[in-house]
Amino acid sequence: MKITVLDGHGLNPGDLSWDGVKALASEFTVYDRSPQELVAERIGDSEIILLNKVRITSEIIEKCPRLRYVGVLATGYNVVDTKACRGRGITVTNIPSYSTNAVAQHVFAFILHFTNLVASHSASVHEGKWISNPDFCYWLSPLTEISGKTLGIFGFGHIGQKVAEIALSFGMKVIVHAHSEESFKKGLDCISLPSSKLSEISSVSLEDLFKKSDFLSLHAPLTPETTELVNENTLSLMKPSAILINTARGGMISEKDVRAALESKKIAAYAADVLLEEPMSKNCPLYKAPNCLITPHLAWAPKETRLRLLDIAIGNIKAFMAGKPVNVVN
């Protein structure tokens, strides 16, 4: 089958190999990026396409009658009109659970950034401040032990579970607000820890999650119910010392309300790997906001993680070709 990758640069900027996909194709083409107006033309008579952020609309589907399979190189698949694909008999797949370890790791990179202030202290040393200091040690602002602090987790899927597991190893208290009590219990069953440790994870109401968390980390999909979950009202519940972390979806927060909370010191800090609009717009309310740490949607991007994603994508294509598709989302 003819296979076309529409925006391969995000997954593979040159440090991975497409050979595993190429081996499955009669003809194989990779575009680093595809402007929306060229998408239908570049798909052409391809039967299989792979994409990450390129939008596949009903109009594009109508222009590509040979298209049989859309492989999204990510977990989220909102860029594809899955209903239109289903109507045309086009299979759509995604890549679930590939980035759990990497995203959980990034959450704690954010937490430790604020508690240990490694970068700012190293910078001060290289500015000569330790050389001129009369004492053997100094610190620029108070440091924090995370042991004993409360980590709140909104959403209790694979990433939320892994974050909880790591938090317990740091001696943190863990509180969770899951979609339901049943999903909370299922989440506990997925964590490979002794029951004595699992008993340290508590299910709480949404209000208590915001009120009690020293660190609050978001780990849920973007739905009508979670859109702008973090807003002026919920932010007002948080401790002034609390730090909010978002590695889930930019639309889960009101960016203007978070900026206002940072400027008025209603919360201590905000850390995010995702924004409502990506790449960032110069008009983003969080641009240059105080005590705001933003990374450019890279939590998923360690090489090992991207290699795992590519391997799953290849497996998805093979399963589709064998007539037994997996990870189907439509």
Q: What is the pLDDT of residues 133-175, one digit of tens each?
A: 999 999 999 999 999 999 999 999 999 999 999 999 999 999 9
d(CA 175, CA 178): 10
Beta bridge partners of 54: none
Residue 278, both tokens: 């990506």
Helix (H, G, I), strand (E, B) or coil at 205: coil
Q: Does 259 qualify as catalytic in the annotation?
A: no
d(CA 247, CA 82): 25
Backbone angles phi, psi at 231, to 5 degrees: -145, -175
Angle at 221 between CA 12 and CA 94, to 5 degrees: 40
pLDDT at 293: 98
From 74, 97, 71, 66, select the one nearest 82 (Cα to Cα): 71
| Averaged pLDDT for residues 61-69 | 98
From 25, 72, 1, select the one nearest 316 (Cα to Cα): 72
List pLDDT tens digits, range 159-170.
Answer: 999 999 999 999
Other CB atoms within a 10 A radius of the CB of residue 207 amount to 11
Dihedral (Cα; 166, 168, 174, 178), 10-degree rounding? 50
Catalytic residue among 179, 219, 297, 306: 297
pLDDT at 222: 92
| Averaged pLDDT for residues 245-249 | 98
Catalytic residue among 249, 259, 306, 308: 249
| Averaged pLDDT for residues 62-69 | 98
pLDDT at 20: 98
List pLDDT tens digits, range 290-312.
Answer: 999 999 999 999 999 999 999 99
pLDDT at 314: 98
From 214, 218, 219, 217, select the one nearest 238 (Cα to Cα): 214
Q: Does 297 qualify as catalytic in the annotation?
A: yes
Other CB atoms within a 10 A radius of the CB of residue 126 amount to 10
Q: Does 55 qualify as catalytic in the annotation?
A: no
Residues of the chain with pLDDT > 70, as a percent, come to 100
For the beta sheet containing 27-30, the strands, ordered from the edge strand earlier in sequence to the opposite edge, are: 27-30, 2-5, 48-51, 69-72, 91-93
From 279, 262, 277, 163, select the one nearest 220 (Cα to Cα): 163
d(CA 30, CA 46): 12
pLDDT at 165: 97
Q: What's the per-residue H, E or C state across 86-147?
A: HHCCCEEECCCCCCHHHHHHHHHHHHHHHHHCHHHHHHHHHCCCCCCCCCCCCCCCCCCCCC
Question: CA separation (Å) from 49 to 11, 28, 40, 100, 150?
Answer: 14, 10, 11, 25, 44
Residue pair 28/22 in contact (Cβ under 8 Å)? The answer is yes
Backbone angles phi, psi at 72, to 5 degrees: -85, 125
d(CA 15, CA 20): 14
pLDDT at 330: 96
